[in-house]
């Protein structure tokens, strides 16, 4: 496999500016807007990261590839074993170890970023600077500073960004949204999000040399330097506050994404955030095992809670068997997380919030009366992104909405770490009245992997 040297930061920025200054060559087709891909143009995609989720995203693009709307032309991973898999599984794709080489290709229209969370902010900003449309896995960012930079880059360079909270695009998410938007249970005053605990590293192992196939420095990227340990990466990075953030940043970003969408609260934020939690008793992972976060919103007034609780305390356990879906649709396979919506005239529940989003039976069976309010029905998360690329319309989980949800998870963890309530100014996207907490809205990033 071809080995690539690292790109010096100065060289990368120089070539980025040159790419942005070059004239855009628009292929023939039906143009949706000046400078945008038309309905008949095929979008060339580069894949950054080739782990389990990235491979899933490649599969989710299958229908668009079959329609001739998309073609995957490049793949990148810092692990040469995974990179070799990607080159094999994407016929004709050029492999890259360093994502910056991929971004410099002028024939690539869009990128799909499936890297660990700590890379999202930097890679989205760099991709936007290179004029690429972006699909980035959730959560959007690890710090409030990163989120602001991502929004600014997407706006400045006019690229379509879709954050991978695909729960908004699921068929039953549409039913739940329509049910709530039409006041079927009256005004909702409390959204009660629930989840099982974060795992504990109960079999810690010592630091060691990284595997020969892994570029450990490039995997760390913007993170501070630390010795290699297998409990840091590949499927378990999620349980470290620095690079993952625990269940609240994993499934919480899905469940709370649905809540903000269905409640019509994109663009808003809480005024206070207060969290408590139980740290792990041993091991390398440091995200809260049990956790409760309360978000207080104003105008309109409502609260959202996030609770990681023991499995035996998860709500409505006795009703799960009754909620198997009808008409041969796959039954609920992961009932251990979701949310209960408490309204003036009753309550309703959904499970999941990501690729598996299910609503309880009364939501599925609800028939809209005459004059009912209609809500947006996504054609699919990838399809919605492509529509945004071609038309300039905001995607269903655009970067502003994605950063808003990520901020909820960040603030929850910061309140847990500091052990006190935080005050939040949504307009400025800043913590107020707490200088120690304000310093934690950003963190140093290692050169040259920095914003």
- 348-379 confidence digits (pLDDT tens): 999 889 988 888 889 988 999 999 999 999 99
- pLDDT at 280 (0 to 100): 97
Reading the block at residue 366, the tokens are 């609800």
Q: Which of 12-26, 93-107, 300-314, 390-404 has the lowest mean pLDDT?
A: 12-26
Residue with tokens 């071809």: 2
Strand order across the 290-297 sheet: 357-359, 346-352, 338-343, 188-195, 302-308, 290-297, 272-278, 422-425, 430-432
The superfamily in CATH containing domain 9-167+394-398 is NAD(P)-binding Rossmann-like Domain (3.40.50.720)
Closest by CA to 352, choosing from 222, 165, 224, is 165
* Predicted confidence band of residue 315 (pLDDT cuts 50, 70, 90): confident
- pLDDT tens digits, 32-68: 345 567 766 899 999 999 999 999 999 999 999 999 9
User: d(Cα 1, Cα 87) in Å, to the nearest integer?
Assistant: 10
- pLDDT tens digits, 255-312: 999 999 999 999 999 999 999 999 999 999 999 999 999 999 999 999 999 999 998 8
Q: Where are the domains of the chain?
A: 9-167+394-398, 168-203+211-370+404-439
The whole-number average pLDDT for the span 238-267 is: 96
Strand order across the 70-76 sheet: 94-96, 70-76, 43-48, 110-113, 133-136, 161-163
Residues 166, 169, 175, 180, CA torsion sign: positive
Fold of the CATH domain 168-203+211-370+404-439: Dihydrodipicolinate Reductase; domain 2 (3.30.360)
Given a cut of 60, whether residue 7 has pLDDT beyond it is: no
Neighbours of 370 (CB within 10 A): 4
Given a cut of 60, whether residue 203 has pLDDT beyond it is: yes
User: d(Cα 433, Cα 424) in Å, to the nearest integer?
Assistant: 9
Q: Indicate yes or no: pTM above 0.75.
A: yes
User: d(Cα 105, Cα 152) in Å, to the nearest integer?
Assistant: 23
The whole-number average pLDDT for the span 408-413 is: 98
Residues in the chain: 451
């Amino acid at each position: 496999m071809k080995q690539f040297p690292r790109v010096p930061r100065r060289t990368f920025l120089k070539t980025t500016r040159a790419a942005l200054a070059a004239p855009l060559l628009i292929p023939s087709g039906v143009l949706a807007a000046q400078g945008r891909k038309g309905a008949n143009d095929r979008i060339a995609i580069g894949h950054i990261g080739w782990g389990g989720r990235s491979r899933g995203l490649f599969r989710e693009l299958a229908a668009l590839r079959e329609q001739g709307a998309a073609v995957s032309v490049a793949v990148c991973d810092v692990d040469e074993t995974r990179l070799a898999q990607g080159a094999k599984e994407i016929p004709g794709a050029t492999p890259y170890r360093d994502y910056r080489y991929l971004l410099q290709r002028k024939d690539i229209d869009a990128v799909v970023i499936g890297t660990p969370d700590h890379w999202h902010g930097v890679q989205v900003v760099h991709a936007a600077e290179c004029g690429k449309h972006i699909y980035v896995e959730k959560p959007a960012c690890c710090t409030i500073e990163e989120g602001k930079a991502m929004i600014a880059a997407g706006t400045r360079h006019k690229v379509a960004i879709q954050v991978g909270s695909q729960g908004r695009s699921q068929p039953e998410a549409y039913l739940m949204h329509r049910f709530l938007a039409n006041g079927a249970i009256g005004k909702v005053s409390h959204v009660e999000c629930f989840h099982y605990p974060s795992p504990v590293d109960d079999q810690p192992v010592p630091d060691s040399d990284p595997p020969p196939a892994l570029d450990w420095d490039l995997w760390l990227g913007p993170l501070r330097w630390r010795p290699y340990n297998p409990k840091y990466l590949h499927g378990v990075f999620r349980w470290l506050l620095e690079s993952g953030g625990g269940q609240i940043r994993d499934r919480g970003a899905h469940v709370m994404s649905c809540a903000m969408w269905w409640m019509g609260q994109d663009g808003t934020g809480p005024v206070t955030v207060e969290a408590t939690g139980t740290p792990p008793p041993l091991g390398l992972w440091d995200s809260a095992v049990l956790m409760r976060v309360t978000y207080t919103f104003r105008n309109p007034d409502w609260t959202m809670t996030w609770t990681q609780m023991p499995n035996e305390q998860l709500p409505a356990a006795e009703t799960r068997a009754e909620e198997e879906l009808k008409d041969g649709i796959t039954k609920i396979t992961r009932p251990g997380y979701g949310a209960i919506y408490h309204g003036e005239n009753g309550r309703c529940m959904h499970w999941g919030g990501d690729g598996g989003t299910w609503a309880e039976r009364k939501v599925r069976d609800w028939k809209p009366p005459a004059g009912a309010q209609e809500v947006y029905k996504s054609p699919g998360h990838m399809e919605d992104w492509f529509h945004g690329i071609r038309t300039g319309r905001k995607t269903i989980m655009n970067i502003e909405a994605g950063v808003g949800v990520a901020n909820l998870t960040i603030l929850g963890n910061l309140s847990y770490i500091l052990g006190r309530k935080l005050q939040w100014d949504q307009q400025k996207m800043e913590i107020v009245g707490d200088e120690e907490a304000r310093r934690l809205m950003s963190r140093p990033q290692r050169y040259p992997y920095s914003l």
